[in-house]
Amino acid sequence: MMRALEEARVDTKSQAELIAALRSSDERLAFSAAYWLAYLPRTATSERALEEAFETGSENVSYWSAYSLASLGNNQWMPLAALRLAAMQRENLQLAMASLLASQGNFAGWFVVQRQSQTKYPLDAVVAAPRFVKMQNNGVDLVRILESLLLVAEEAQRPDIQWSLTVTRKLLALPTDR
């Protein structure tokens, strides 16, 4: 993410330069700036710029703007992100947004994990699954779902599913030797 900013000679320590880059029509520059704004002190100016980019930017810019807002402790983006989730076109960004929402306690993206875990290549979804561990209280038995995936997974996928299962059990304070 640094390369686009370096090529445009944007100082990653300058909030004004990053905000200008965030508003750029160059998507790589904009999402890179969104990412780097998370590492500067939280200000009303940067939050407004990130919120605007989240609302109006491409899926990539929106995701990285949400990431930075979450990093800065702002959760105003979450209801709109949850609403937009189903319409997202890029599956990798849809899963990333679902995971980001889950890390903030919003589990609206569980359907994304479920759908992607049932594809031929479920590993990204399986790796994201532990983020949804707090859903256990909402009636979703994540351990049971991962165990059932483990039973039907191809041999090459089993280590990743087992890793997610172990992490999930640890997060729930369940025995991990099963």
- Which amino acid is present at 41? P
Q: Which residue ranges make up each domain of the chain?
A: 1-76, 107-178
Q: Given this model, what pLDDT does residue 151 score?
A: 85
Which pLDDT band, with edges at 50, 70 and 90, does 17 fall under?
very high
Tokens of 142: 């994540």
Contact call for residues 42 and 72 (beta carbons, < 8 A): yes
What's the CA gap between 105 and 174, in Å, rounded? 21
Is residue 138 over pLDDT 90?
A: no
| pLDDT tens per residue, range 36-81 | 999 999 999 999 999 999 999 999 999 999 999 999 999 999 999 9
Q: What is the pTM of this model?
A: 0.83
Q: Given this model, what pLDDT does residue 172 score?
A: 80
Q: Given this model, what pLDDT does residue 136 score?
A: 67
99 Rama sector, left if φ>0, alpha if ψ -120 to 50, beta otherwise: alpha
Q: What is the mean pLDDT of the chain?
A: 89
